[in-house]
Structure 1
């Protein structure tokens, strides 16, 4: 079970909601999904504790653990978060899946072209990521020379294997009629025909129109005050970097439990 993957850190699991969904949810494999971490290492550890305890308490057989992207930026401990997730996913490739978020995409774009992509990334949390790797005082309006230098320093600071791990993150993961993605699916297109930009960055129609094909989309990216579901969407990004609340949800049978 996944409960054997992470260390047993103690503490009771908690459930804040249990609600049957309007359209039957039929995962082929039970799974847990965790919302946007954004450099918040301690809440990540707490969420993994709760998942472990929930698996054990409910005797969940062969669950998967899905992270919905945006592991970096904004929070103070991106380096620690990446180390934890890389270790988990590489040690358990059949059970742990880390999806790509738009912030991982921005970091990769910065590594490829710091002048073009650096100012945007730094504005949206890249400064905190650089600081977590020991590269301070790089603002979004930095001079070209400083951007190049920060890029070189980041290349040197990233542990071996981190950059290819980031590049190979998948954009989606599915189990039955449940589809995990970072930002969104186009509600007018079937799950198999989704565009990369929409899965990473979202689309306005996703939040306005419900799917009509019996599929559910489990996603992060759009911050909500509390986990919500309805109109074929299940939103799990509770803004951990400013609320301290990292949401983990269990998907089994026709229920979504927030643990």
Structure 2
């Protein structure tokens, strides 16, 4: 059981929030999905505790845990979030999936091409990630020398094995007719024909057009006030880095339950 991930027990079971489904959910294995963490370590640990309590209270058999990407940037503890997820993945390779988000992609691009990718990453939260690795003094308008120096310091600060782990994060994960992705799937294309750009960055038609193939898409990336599920989409990014609310959902027995 996923309770072994955190070793936290006790307390009441999580609240259950149910609504009728337009299309039946048929996962092959029960699972939990967690929205965009963005460097919010405390909220991530609280979400893991809620999941553990839910598994124990409802005696969920053999569940999976799926994180929907965007672990870094904007929040204060990106380094600690990555470290915890990296080690949990190593300890639970068959029970834990961490998807890649566009912010992980931007961080990797910075490591590869700091002059080209650095300015954009810094504007979208990279400065906070650097600070979480104790790399100080980098500004939004950093010049070439400062970008190169910050890149070298970040390479040195990353724990052994973390960078290749980041590069190998999958872009999607599926169970039955439920499909997890960071940003979006193009509703005009089959699940297995989606582009990397759409899965990481989204597309306009995703939020306007429901799928008509009997599949549900569970995603983050687009901030919503509260988790919503409608028209074959389930949106779980509740803007944790500025709202303090990290959303987790359970997919069991043809239900979506917001914890």
TM-score range, shorter chain: over 0.9
Indicate the residue corresponding to 2:235 in structure 1.
235
Q: How do 1:207-222 and structure 2 match up within 5 A?
A: 207-222=207-222
Matched, 1:104 2:85: no
Q: How do 1:9-28 and structure 2 match up within 5 A?
A: 10-15=10-15, 17-28=17-28
Displacement, 1:10?
A: 4.2
Indicate the residue corresponding to 1:95 in structure 2.
95
TM-score, with structure 2 as normaliser: 0.98
Displacement, 1:17?
A: 1.5
**Deviation beyond 6 Å, 4+ runs, structure 1:** none
Q: Distance in 1 between matches of 2:244 and 2:11?
A: 17
Q: How do 1:1-259 and structure 2 match up within 5 A?
A: 1-8=1-8, 10-15=10-15, 17-259=17-259
Q: Is the 8 A contact 1:78 1:132 kept in 2?
A: yes
Q: Distance in 1 between matches of 2:137 and 2:257?
A: 42
Displacement, 1:16?
A: 5.2
TM-score, with structure 1 as normaliser: 0.98
Cα gap change, 1:207 to 1:22, in 2 (>3 Å): same
Q: Is the 8 A contact 1:13 1:49 kept in 2?
A: no
Q: Is the 8 A contact 1:187 1:209 kept in 2?
A: yes
Displacement, 1:21?
A: 1.4
Q: Structure 1 regions of 5+ residues with no counterpart?
A: none
Q: Distance in 1 between matches of 2:12 and 2:39?
A: 24
**Root mean square deviation, CA, Å:** 0.9
Q: Distance in 2 between matches of 1:94 and 1:211?
A: 29
Q: Is the 8 A contact 2:9 2:53 kept in 1?
A: no
Q: Structure 2 regions of 5+ residues with no counterpart?
A: none
Q: Distance in 2 between matches of 1:21 and 1:84?
A: 34
Q: Distance in 1 between matches of 2:36 and 2:88?
A: 16
Displacement, 1:254?
A: 1.5
Q: Distance in 2 between matches of 1:89 and 1:211?
A: 31
Counterpart secondary structure, 2:174: strand
Deviations 1:182-224 (A, max 9, x none): 0000000111111111000000000000000000000000000
